């Protein structure tokens, strides 16, 4: 095959970027090895120091390489180098700068880079402050880095085996693309445009959510590094202290990332909720739950030396589950069971190896060392704080296990298939599908788990480590606990007046959440005496309680206000709420629903968004008075070409105690996509009727009057361009009850070949009207068919043609005419001819006389409704006489075909879903407090290392 | 050999509980079925199929914005009318594959949930050529 010299490609940045990736990979490997020896050879101070220095240099080289690769990626994306597949896939000309960030991490390679970036930053913190832990933790971190960088390396180890997929791949060399004919064109680059960012992600949440989540992901690695380091260096108890702030940091950030994902789903997607137990959501929740368990065992271990091994296992598991969630979301195994998952990229086996590697490593360490870990002789007593904290951690692990099981169904199915191939049997009938009702499936178990957690956080605060001095403290403990139980019962009863929980499970959960809040506050008051510095756990536990209350309030009382009880009555049973989620709103016609009068006021298209204004008037009980009015503005986002709607975006009215959430579930086809609108139009039964100008016909009980022909037509979808040939008509329609309404269909021929018909419709009458190309020939008569009469007149003169009085009123030196495009050097003059018809109507014609390149041209003016064509054929400079030519075609005798459909659907409606979420702010406040508590704890552990 | 601690008993209890719960949870799991199997099933099932594009698709929001019906052809080639009590999902016609969760009620399959697999506009192997060239 012949080599092609492609024009305009920038190959240097890609090669440089690829170089940096390979360098980063090698440097990470070197750092891992050097730090390994620096740890392994610690007893040889000098050698260890040398290894450590090598490790540091390698780590810094790796860091610089990663930053450079990221910088080059951004450079390529800013400059829109579409020769690179990644740039082409995620960027487009129209994409504003701020969306380059989500475009960067939309794809697998970009998000891996983001993850590696955070690892590097965290690595620097270890390098600078971890002191004696630097070598061992960074050895582990560098090893993790090696494997992660390998995912984006894109280097062929064997001809058939490629390690990772590089972001610096050229489009013309990418799989499935390289054979496309466009790449045989050396100048292909000037012809292509990027695909751009998925519109669902063109949202500010997508600028902040992924970096937070990936910082969370990256930070889970650090407790894992410490756990490995602690066992490896046989410093079984020492690591428990430095790891704690890291674990708290990780818990706070990962938690925030997860909640931000919920906020994104709630604000930008039309799920109608913040949590859907989607496999991808679960995949990041599971490591977080285990990590929180780990933080608690860590606290226990640090105070009592119990559960050191437990802490090791918890931290290792939370990291393993981060890798497992990476596998679930990136291997394509979730397929269509999740909306979030990435598409396959051929990394499945590499991901499996990643998990296997970092499961085996801690596994071996544990087996080798677990007997050497110091364990207190005395068993935890049932009356000690550590006992119940450990139980709490186990409950969290238990919860994580249950969630993982259901989330992993696709993996289990796959494993069954593997077994099936081994025994040579078709096992596809064993396959299980995700629950028919996932939300109730998960809630059923998690309600009890949350109940236990709530109770434990309330009780355990009042217990003391090692249960020391229990006989003396017993009384106070029982007193406090009983007091809190009693107080919680009262408070729960009051709160439930609002939440109205009605099943045992929900009532108990409500009680336990209230108990968690009450007990922790009481602990803050009576034991801590408002020592804020020591109250980090109070924040987190009260936050947990509030979050549960928010979940209960918004979950149990989520109500669709978009149900019109009148429309539904008699069709469905009254309690079947599922059936009544959407209402049909016609523009300008108020509809009563769920306490509101809702009116679809208008819709406006700006850029790529069509915003609907929907007015809500809250009515009082008697539906007499309006108590409150507000507007919601859900909108539809369109693709770059504006030919298709891509995403309906919700709009929310916020109150302190609830939200009113609305989104559009269906809209007329012309708001959805051009193709659908065309298809719908094609499916209508149009019939052709011929009209003379001014004629009225009655068709199917509706009167149609062909009022006039329009030569410079206006239509909301028609954009007039130079060279268009277009006409329009005004047709008045009415029936016995509907007042006359003018419709303005338009027909245009663009670039002399493309015919566009723009219909107009009356929604009230269900009528849609089009005009045809045939009429165009009548509106613009052929020159040959016209017989002109010639007149020679001067300025100011009048003459008669066919009873029309024509006066030469003046000249126009800069003439404007639909079929005249001015050119440099033109001499063009239009004459203004005032015409009075026999009936006394006035009209104006402006034919043009043009000299271009020493040749003369005439541009005729045509008045279709009069049937007159006027030409300005010459001017005599001596006599100042103009030569004018006038012709008439008998348009009044002509018939214009009009296509009329009487079965047209309305195009001025929307289908709306509106949901009320009471107490949703408790959820946001609760989760925020939870994360804040962890950050406070972290801060305190860093600042006050000496005290507890 | 160290003695058995309370914590071990509790741990064991949790493991047993987890197994019991998972066994009972597996009742929640639906299974994949064909329409023929759905006819006899008393529990909700998931049917994987394709949209029968030659059959009627009905959504008239003016009459009922919460009623959408269409026909699905399952892997055995059996077609059934499916009713979804919700608005018609966008891009429905474009779906390559449909997974409906629900039960047969008389002649129709009433879906409580619907999942479509669409050829994504953002993943296809096509290169859009600039329109201004």
**Residue A582 vs residues B90, B93, B100: alpha-carbon distances, Å:** 15, 21, 20
Summarised one tens digit per residue, pLDDT across range A614-666 is: 999 998 888 778 889 999 999 998 887 788 888 888 899 999 999 999 999 88
* B25 vs A180, A441, A909: nearest CB: A441
Using the beta-carbon criterion (under 8 Å), do A182 and B5 form an inter-chain contact? no
Residue by residue, DSSP assigns A686-702 as EEEEEE-TT-EEEETTE
**Best to test chain A binding among B6, B61, B91, B116 (most A CBs inside 10 Å):** B61
d(CA A237, CA A248): 18
* A911 vs B6, B65, B113: nearest CB: B65
CB A537 within 8 A of CB A543: no
Q: Tokens 């149900």 — which residue?
A: A563
φ and ψ of A544, to 5 deg: -60, -45
Residue A135's SS3 state is helix
Q: Is B98 exposed, middle or buried (0-12, 13-18, 19+ CB in 10 A)?
A: buried
Q: Which two tokens stand for residue A594?
A: 């769920």
CB A765 within 8 A of CB A738: yes
Beta bridge partners of A616: A598, A630
Residues of B in contact with A382 (CB under 8 A): 6
- What average pLDDT does range A262-269 have in this prediction? 84
Quick one: pLDDT band at residue A570, thresholds 50, 70, 90? very low
Q: What is the pLDDT of residue A577?
A: 46
Name the residue among A248, A277, A275, A279 with its Cα closest to residue A261. A275
Residues in chain B: 133
Summarised one tens digit per residue, pLDDT across range A883-916 is: 888 988 777 778 889 999 998 888 889 999 999 9
Residue A343 scores a pLDDT above 70: no
Summarised one tens digit per residue, pLDDT across range A504-555 is: 889 999 999 999 999 999 999 998 888 888 889 999 999 999 999 999 999 8
Chain B, 74-93: which have a CB under 8 Å from a chain A CB?
A: 85-88, 90, 93
- What average pLDDT does range A77-103 have in this prediction? 90
- A33 to chain B, closest Cα gap in Å: 38
Residues of B in contact with A190 (CB under 8 A): 130, 133
| Domain B32-117 top-level CATH class | mainly beta
Residue A575 scores a pLDDT above 50: no
Sorted by sequence, the CB contacts under 8 Å of residue A588 that are 6+ apart come out as: A599, A600, A601, A908
- A900 to chain B, closest Cα gap in Å: 22
Q: Does B119 touch chain A if contact means CB atoms closer than 8 Å? A: no
φ and ψ of B99, to 5 deg: -115, 115
Residue A755 scores a pLDDT above 80: yes
CB A194 within 8 A of CB A92: yes
Q: Does B27 touch chain A if contact means CB atoms closer than 8 Å? A: no
Phi-psi region of A623 (alpha: psi -120 to 50; beta: other; left: phi over 0): left
- B35 to chain A, closest Cα gap in Å: 15
Using the beta-carbon criterion (under 8 Å), do B130 and A190 form an inter-chain contact? yes
Quick one: pLDDT band at residue A880, thresholds 50, 70, 90? confident
User: Which carries the bigger pLDDT value, residue B117 or residue A466?
Assistant: A466
Q: Does B99 touch chain A if contact means CB atoms closer than 8 Å? A: yes
Using the beta-carbon criterion (under 8 Å), do B31 and A182 form an inter-chain contact? no
Please report, for chain B, the start and end positions of each structural domain, with discontinuous segments joined by +.
32-117
Taking only Cα atoms into account, the Rg of chain A, rounded to an integer number of angstroms, comes to: 38
Q: Does A16 touch chain B if contact means CB atoms closer than 8 Å? A: no
Q: Does A670 touch chain B if contact means CB atoms closer than 8 Å? A: no
**Best to test chain B binding among A584, A586, A593, A639 (most B CBs inside 10 Å):** A584
What averages of pLDDT result for each successive group of 10 residues across chain B (133 residues)?
67 85 79 86 86 89 88 91 88 81 88 74 49 39
- Helices A470-499 and A504-526 cross at an angle (nearest 10°) of 130
Beta bridge partners of A850: A828, A857
CB A535 within 8 A of CB A570: no
Quick one: pLDDT band at residue A571, thresholds 50, 70, 90? very low
CB A189 within 8 A of CB A6: yes
The mean of the pLDDT values for chain A is 88
Q: How many CB pairs under 8 A join A and B?
A: 138
First to last CA, chain B: 81
This model of the complex carries an ipTM of 0.85
Quickly count helices (H) and strands (E) in chain A.
Answer: 22, 34
Residues of B in contact with A192 (CB under 8 A): 127-130
Q: Is A652 exposed, middle or buried (0-12, 13-18, 19+ CB in 10 A)?
A: middle
Q: Is A489 exposed, middle or buried (0-12, 13-18, 19+ CB in 10 A)?
A: middle
d(CA A786, CA A795): 26
Percentage of chain A surpassing pLDDT 70? 96
User: Which carries the bigger pLDDT value, residue A26 or residue A266?
Assistant: A26
User: Which carries the bigger pLDDT value, residue A865 or residue A205?
Assistant: A205
- What average pLDDT does range A704-713 have in this prediction? 87
What residue spans of A811-914 are helical by DSSP H? none
Q: Is B53 exposed, middle or buried (0-12, 13-18, 19+ CB in 10 A)?
A: exposed
Q: How many CB atoms lie within 10 A of CB A175?
A: 12
Using the beta-carbon criterion (under 8 Å), do B130 and A343 form an inter-chain contact? no
CB B43 within 8 A of CB B33: no
Beta strands in A633-685 (DSSP E): 635-638, 645-649, 651-654, 658-666
d(CA A554, CA A684): 45
Chain A, 73-92: which have a CB under 8 Å from a chain B CB?
A: 89
Residue A869 scores a pLDDT above 90: no
Residues in chain A: 948
User: Which carries the bigger pLDDT value, residue A198 or residue B127?
Assistant: A198
CB A311 within 8 A of CB A227: yes
């Amino acid at each position: 095959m012949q080599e092609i010299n492609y024009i305009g490609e920038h190959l240097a940045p890609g090669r440089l970027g690829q170089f940096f990736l390979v360098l980063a990979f090698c440097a990470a490997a070197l750092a891992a090895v050097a730090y390994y020896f620096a740890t392994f050879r610690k007893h040889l101070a000098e050698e260890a120091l040398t290894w450590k220095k090598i490790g540091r240099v390698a780590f810094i080289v790796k860091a610089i390489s990663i930053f450079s690769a990221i910088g080059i990626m951004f450079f390529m994306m800013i400059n829109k180098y579409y020769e690179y597949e990644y740039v082409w896939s995620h960027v487009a000309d129209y994409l504003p700068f701020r969306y380059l960030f989500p475009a960067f991490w939309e794809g697998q390679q970009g998000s891996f880079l983001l993850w590696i970036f955070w690892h590097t930053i965290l690595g620097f913190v270890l390098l600078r402050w971890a002191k004696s832990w630097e070598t061992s933790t960074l050895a582990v971190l560098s090893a993790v880095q090696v494997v992660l960088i390998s995912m984006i390396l894109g280097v062929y180890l064997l001809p058939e085996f490629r390690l990772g997929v590089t972001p610096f791949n050229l489009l013309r060399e990418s799989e499935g693309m390289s054979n496309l004919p466009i790449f045989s064109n050396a100048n292909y680059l000037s012809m292509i445009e990027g695909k751009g960012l998925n519109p669902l992600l063109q949202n500010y949440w997508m600028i902040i959510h992924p970096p937070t989540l990936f910082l969370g992901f990256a930070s889970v690695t650090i407790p894992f590094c410490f756990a490995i380091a602690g066992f490896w260096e046989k410093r079984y108890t020492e690591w428990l202290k430095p790891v704690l702030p890291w674990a708290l940091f990780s818990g706070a950030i990962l938690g925030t990332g997860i909640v931000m994902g919920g906020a994104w789903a709630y604000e930008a997607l039309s799920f109608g909720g913040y949590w859907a137990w989607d496999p991808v959501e679960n995949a990041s929740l599971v490591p977080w739950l285990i990590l929180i368990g780990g933080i608690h065992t860590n606290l226990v271990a640090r105070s009592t030396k119990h559960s050191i091994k437990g802490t090791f296992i918890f931290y290792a598991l939370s990291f393993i589950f981060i890798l497992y969630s990476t596998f679930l979301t990136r291997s394509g195994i979730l397929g269509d069971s999740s909306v979030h998952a990435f598409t396959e990229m051929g990394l499945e086996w590499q991901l499996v190896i990643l998990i296997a590697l970092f499961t085996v490593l801690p596994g071996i360490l544990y087996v080798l060392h677990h007997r050497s870990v110091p364990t207190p002789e005395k068993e935890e007593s049932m009356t000690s704080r550590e006992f119940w904290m450990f139980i709490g951690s186990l409950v969290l692990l238990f919860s994580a296990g249950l969630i993982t099981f259901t989330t992993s169904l696709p993996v289990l199915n796959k494993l069954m298939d593997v077994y099936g191939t081994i025994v040579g049997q078709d096992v596809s009938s064993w396959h299980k599908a995700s629950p028919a009702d996932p939300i109730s499936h998960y809630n059923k178990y998690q309600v009890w788990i949350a109940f236990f957690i709530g109770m434990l956080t309330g009780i355990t605060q009042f217990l003391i480590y090692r249960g020391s001095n229990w006989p003396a403290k017993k009384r106070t403990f029982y007193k406090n606990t009983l007091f809190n139980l009693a107080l919680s019962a009262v408070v729960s009863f009051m709160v439930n007046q609002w939440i109205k929980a009605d099943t045992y499970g929900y009532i108990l959960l409500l009680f336990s959440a209230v108990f968690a809040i009450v007990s922790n506050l009481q602990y803050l008051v009576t034991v801590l005496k408002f020592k804020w510095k020591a109250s980090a756990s109070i924040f987190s536990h009260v936050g947990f309680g509030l979050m549960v209350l928010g979940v209960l309030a918004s979950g149990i009382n989520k109500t669709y206000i978009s149900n019109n009880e009148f429309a539904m009555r008699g069709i469905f049973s009254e309690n079947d709420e599922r059936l009544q989620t959407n209402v049909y709103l016609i523009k300008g016609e108020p509809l009563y629903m769920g306490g509101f009068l809702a009116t679809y006021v208008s819709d406006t298209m700006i850029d790529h968004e069509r915003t609907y204004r929907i007015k809500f008037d809250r009515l009082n009980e008697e539906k007499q008075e309006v108590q409150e009015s507000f507007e919601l503005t859900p909108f539809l986002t369109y693709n770059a070409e504006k030919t298709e709607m891509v995403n309906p975006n919700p709009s929310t009215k916020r109150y302190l105690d609830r939200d009113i959430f609305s989104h559009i579930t269906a809209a007329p086809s012309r708001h959805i996509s051009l193709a659908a609108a065309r298809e719908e139009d094609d499916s209508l039964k149009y019939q052709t009727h011929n009209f003379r100008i001014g004629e009225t016909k009655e068709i199917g009980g509706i009167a149609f009057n062909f009022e006039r022909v329009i030569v410079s037509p206006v239509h909301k979808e028609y954009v007039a361009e130079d060279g268009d040939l277009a006409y329009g008509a005004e047709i008045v329609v009415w029936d016995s009850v509907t007042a006359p309404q003018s419709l303005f269909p338009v027909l245009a021929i663009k670039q002399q070949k493309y015919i566009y018909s723009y219909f107009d419709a009356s929604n009230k009458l269900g009528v849609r009207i089009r005009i045809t190309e045939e009429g165009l020939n009548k509106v613009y008569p052929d020159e040959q068919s016209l017989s002109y009469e010639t007149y020679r007149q001067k300025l100011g003169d009048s003459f008669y043609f066919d009873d029309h009085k024509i006066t030469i009123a003046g000249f126009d030196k800069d003439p404007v005419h639909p079929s005249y495009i001015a050119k440099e050097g033109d001499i063009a003059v239009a004459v203004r001819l005032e015409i009075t018809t026999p009936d006394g109507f006035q009209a104006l014609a402006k034919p043009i006389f043009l000299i271009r390149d020493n040749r003369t041209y005439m541009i005729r003016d045509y008045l279709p409704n009069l049937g007159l064509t006027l030409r300005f054929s010459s001017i005599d400079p001596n006599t100042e006489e103009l030569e004018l030519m006038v012709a008439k075609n008998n348009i009044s005798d002509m018939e214009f075909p009009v296509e009329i459909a009487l079965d047209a659907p309305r195009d001025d409606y929307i289908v709306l879903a509106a949901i009320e979420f009471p107490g949703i702010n408790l959820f946001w406040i609760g989760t925020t407090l939870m994360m804040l508590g962890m950050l406070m704890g972290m801060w305190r552990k860093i600042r006050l290392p000496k005290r507890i | 050999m160290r003695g058995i601690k309370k914590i071990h008993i509790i741990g064991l209890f949790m493991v047993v509980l987890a197994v019991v719960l998972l066994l009972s949870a597996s009742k929640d799991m639906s299974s994949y079925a064909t329409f023929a199997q759905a006819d006899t099933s008393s529990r909700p099932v998931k049917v994987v199929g394709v949209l029968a594009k030659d059959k009627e698709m009905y959504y008239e929001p003016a009459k009922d914005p919460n009623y959408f019906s269409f026909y699905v052809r399952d892997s055995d080639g059996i077609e059934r009318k499916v009713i979804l009590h919700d608005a018609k999902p966008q891009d429905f016609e474009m779906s390559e594959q449909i997974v409906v969760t629900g039960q047969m009620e008389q002649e129709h399959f009433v879906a409580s949930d619907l999942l479509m697999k669409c050829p994504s506009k953002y993943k296809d192997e096509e290169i859009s050529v600039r329109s201004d060239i």
